[in-house]
């Protein structure tokens, strides 16, 4: 439950420990008039659907970068942007072309230039386990059958292929049996080299800052990810590599493959504690993480201790700590509409070691699923950002996010300081972050009633040490009898700083 006072990042990119990420689903974030749209595009305010487009684009992101700067964001993760025939673009047609509906390659170049000018880094989504039926080499197989020159790029089992008729076997290997996503044969050296060059191209030609790698555990070719890391990091030594792995994955984070995973284990623990019995079992029943059942503070502390012991400190400092994503329900939805759950989970996230990531729109409590009694459907978490209707924004939530992110940026101890869990009883939890110049106590009361916490602080603080409230409270405190009394209102949290004497 403790961490070194002076961490060494080793081969991990040092900038990631200071990053606050913002995940953008490009079709739903912002739509610019600079990109011509086809006629059959959905209205911006219409509900999200599995098929169809809302027409968000990269120029729209550029036009709203000031919103991200104002929020305190200094890194952006974009879900796939390459040419595709689906709104989420995980069905890649061309790995060298940004989708024209997003503005094409020039829009990406302009976005990276504009973001870097604001000291915002850009991480792209790499989908290298599978392509699509429209990918050139697979389409050639569909056209030419056994005479195609690209048969060994995929896993073909029999003829004729059945790419669209769900009533018959597809006769080729696809990701989770989705015939729209034919799986690459990465044991083929030509395929492997093609994908390696894709990874290198966007670093060399566009200066991206990282890759988030989709379903990496499904690529079982020995040495594939080790080679990917070696070749991409040779071009950019501080490139950030994040694997989409939902479980604990210490074996993937030894320094030879990825720097971090999408830390759904942290998300599940934070939501389970912050939400408690509000967490909807039905809504998360078909997901690959465990925010249900809700837990008390001791249960949360135990899960955090397990995470702390699973990884080295240098890995913990750069883990990609999210709460929601395009693949998971929004936190407010999971908590059946309770916004306090989002505030409490975000407080835990922003004060925990690693790189926090905000899912677009959570800062204004963007709507998600409205039915809490059925399994989550991916479109429910992909509503367009309501730039056209600012009256729908939760301004108090936006202010909460801004203040908390600003405090994280202002306090190195919250980013890289040692982490200690001090108190975990009932629905109350307290942890401490500390470096050589600063000590902060973070308290969360997830209960429905106010709490007066008596927290043991030895050996970190000594009797007579004053503490000043810096977030969520106006009450100061003083250490006495090796403890400190911290008053915390119901369903809220606060941060105190030790005052140097």
61: CB partners within 8 A, 6+ apart: 24, 26, 29, 30, 76, 111
Containing 210, the helix (H) or strand (E) segment is strand 210-213
Measured CA to CA, the distance from residue 26 to residue 31 in angstroms comes to 9
473 and 501 Cβ atoms separated by less than 8 Å:
no
Measured CA to CA, the distance from residue 434 to residue 449 in angstroms comes to 29
Q: Which two tokens stand for residue 410?
A: 């202002």
Measured CA to CA, the distance from residue 184 to residue 194 in angstroms comes to 11
One of 214, 327, 362, 435 is an active-site residue; which one? 214
Measured CA to CA, the distance from residue 140 to residue 134 in angstroms comes to 9
Catalytic-residue membership of 125: no
7 and 63 Cβ atoms separated by less than 8 Å:
no
Q: Which two tokens stand for residue 32?
A: 């610019």
477: CB partners within 8 A, 6+ apart: 466, 467, 469, 484, 485, 486, 496
Q: Which two tokens stand for residue 421?
A: 């869990």
Catalytic-residue membership of 248: no
Per the DSSP assignment, residues forming a β-bridge with 478 are: 466
One of 99, 209, 244, 435 is an active-site residue; which one? 244
Measured CA to CA, the distance from residue 154 to residue 141 in angstroms comes to 9
483 and 460 Cβ atoms separated by less than 8 Å:
no
Per the DSSP assignment, residues forming a β-bridge with 424 are: 429
What does the DSSP assignment read for 142-160?
HHHGGG-TTGGGB-B-SSS
List the catalytic residues.
214, 244
């Amino acid at each position: 439950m403790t961490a070194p006072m002076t961490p060494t990042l080793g081969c991990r990119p040092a900038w990631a420990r200071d990053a606050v990420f913002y995940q953008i689903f490009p079709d739903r974030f912002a739509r610019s008039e600079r990109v011509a749209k086809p006629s059959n595009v959905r209205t911006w305010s219409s509900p999200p659907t599995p098929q169809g487009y809302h027409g968000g684009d990269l120029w729209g992101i550029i036009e709203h970068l000031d919103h991200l700067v104002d929020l305190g964001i200094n890194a952006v993760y974009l879900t796939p942007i390459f040419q595709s025939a689906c709104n989420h673009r995980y069905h890649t047609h061309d790995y060298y072309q940004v989708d024209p509906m997003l503005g094409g390659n020039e829009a990406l170049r302009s976005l990276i230039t504009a973001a870097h000018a604001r000291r915002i880094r850009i991480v792209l989504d790499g989908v290298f386990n599978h392509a699509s039926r429209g990918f050139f080499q697979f389409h050639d197989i569909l056209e030419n059958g056994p005479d195609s020159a690209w048969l060994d790029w995929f896993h073909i089992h029999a003829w004729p292929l059945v790419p669209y008729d769900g009533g018959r076997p597809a006769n080729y290997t696809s990701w989770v049996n989705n015939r729209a996503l034919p799986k690459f044969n990465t044991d083929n050296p030509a395929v492997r080299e093609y994908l390696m060059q894709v990874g290198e191209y966007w670093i060399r030609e566009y200066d991206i800052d990282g890759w988030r790698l989709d379903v990496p555990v499904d690529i079982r070719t020995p040495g594939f990810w080790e080679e990917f890391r070696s070749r991409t990091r040779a071009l950019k030594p501080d490139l950030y590599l994040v694997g989409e792995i939902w479980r604990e994955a210490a074996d993937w984070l030894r320094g030879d493959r990825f720097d971090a995973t999408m830390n759904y284990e942290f998300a599940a623990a934070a939501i389970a504690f912050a939400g408690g019995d509000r967490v909807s079992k039905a809504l998360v029943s078909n997901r690959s993480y465990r925010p249900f059942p809700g837990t008390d503070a001791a249960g949360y502390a135990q899960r955090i201790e397990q995470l702390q012991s699973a990884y080295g400190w240098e890995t913990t400092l750069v883990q990609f700590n999210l709460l929601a994503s395009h693949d998971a329900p929004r936190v407010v939805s999971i908590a059946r509409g309770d916004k306090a759950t989002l505030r409490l989970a975000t407080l835990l996230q922003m004060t925990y070691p690693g790189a926090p990531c905000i899912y677009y729109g959570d800062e204004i409590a963007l709507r998600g699923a409205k039915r809490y009694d059925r399994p989550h459907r991916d479109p429910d978490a992909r509503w367009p950002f309501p730039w056209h209707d600012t009256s729908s924004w939760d301004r108090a939530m936006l202010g909460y996010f801004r203040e908390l992110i600003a405090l994280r940026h202002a306090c190195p101890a919250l980013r890289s300081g040692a982490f200690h869990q001090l108190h975990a009883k009932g629905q109350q939890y307290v942890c401490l972050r500390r470096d050589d110049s600063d000590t902060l106590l973070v308290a969360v009361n997830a209960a429905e009633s106010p709490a007066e916490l008596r927290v043991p602080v030895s050996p970190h603080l000594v009797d007579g040490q004053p503490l000043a409230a810096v977030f969520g409270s106006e009450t100061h405190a003083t250490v006495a009898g090796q403890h400190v009394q911290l008053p915390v209102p119901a369903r809220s949290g606060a941060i105190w700083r030790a005052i140097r004497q």
